[in-house]
Amino acid sequence: MRILRTPDDRFADLPNFPYEPRYAEVGDGLRMAYVETGPPDGEPVVLLHGEPSWSFLYRHVMPELGAAGLRAVAPDLVGFGRSDKPAEPGDHTYARHVEWTRALLYDALGLTGVTLVGQDWGGLIGLRLAAEHPERVARIVAANTGLPTGDIPMPEVWHRFKDAVATAPTLDVARFVQSGCATRLAPEVRAAYDAPFPDESYKAGPRALPGLVPHTPGDPAGPANRAAWQALTTLDRPFLVAFSDGDPITGGMAPILRSSMVGAAGLDHPVVKGAGHFLQEDAGAELGRHIAAFVTST
């Protein structure tokens, strides 16, 4: 595959994001980027972002985890952030993204006892990793996400988003992030979301991911996600559902996760008020405190 790499100078002067990038090879000739904070020997908390953001999304969450003595690790998915970008939408598959992320977390970084936090596509990938490699996982946090199998129709707002991404001549990444926030993003924050993509040729990942969400029963990822659901519903790992109260895309998944996951029983699941789909932007510090309390109390 043809691989693009965003020039480093695109990431100069990022607001409230002082973390030095680190890199690891994950196969297919690809390099993934990640940042981290907190003590190196702290319990690892992996923060997985989704479409069309990058680890910058967690800049208000990470300090809360570090202050609690936890090791916060925030990767950039392949095609996003500082990670390498396969240039063709067809280079991106659900299975490949699961494998690339697995290779980073478990092969390159050797993480065990992980608390996996996933939002949006970060959950679609993270929940698969938890189900398929439970020996590596200590806890799970689902934040405005789900694990669709294609057996239940997706909401109409999601179809509108998928179609908009597929047909837009120019993909305005910052505008899409803003549309999923309850708060108004500052110009420098919008610029940070645009930074990974110098031009349209770098946007194959954001272009591809909406179409990879299983939304029909015969979707190629359906069998693997059904198997993951079966595994997760009986997995004896604490499972926190930390959704916002204002996400029209995934909001309906919160009660399903709370009732389906055995690890969710008996936990106090927070609802982050006044936040949209990207609750890390709207209430990142609050989300970070919920995660820290969850990890340190279970």
Catalytic residues: 120, 247, 277
Yes or no: say if 163 and 224 are a contact pair by the CB < 8 Å rule.
Answer: no
Q: How far apart are CA 133 and CA 136, in angstroms?
A: 6
Yes or no: say if 108 and 23 are a contact pair by the CB < 8 Å rule.
Answer: no
Phi and psi at residue 32, to the nearest 5°: -105, 145
Yes or no: say if 149 and 230 are a contact pair by the CB < 8 Å rule.
Answer: no
Q: Which long-range contacts (CB under 8 A, 24 or more apart) does 122-127 make?
A: 122/47, 122/48, 122/49, 122/50, 122/77, 123/48, 123/50, 123/147, 124/50, 124/94, 124/148, 124/213, 125/48, 125/77, 125/97, 125/98, 125/101, 126/46, 126/48, 126/101, 127/228, 127/232
Number of helical (H) and strand (E) elements in the chain, helices listed first: 10, 11
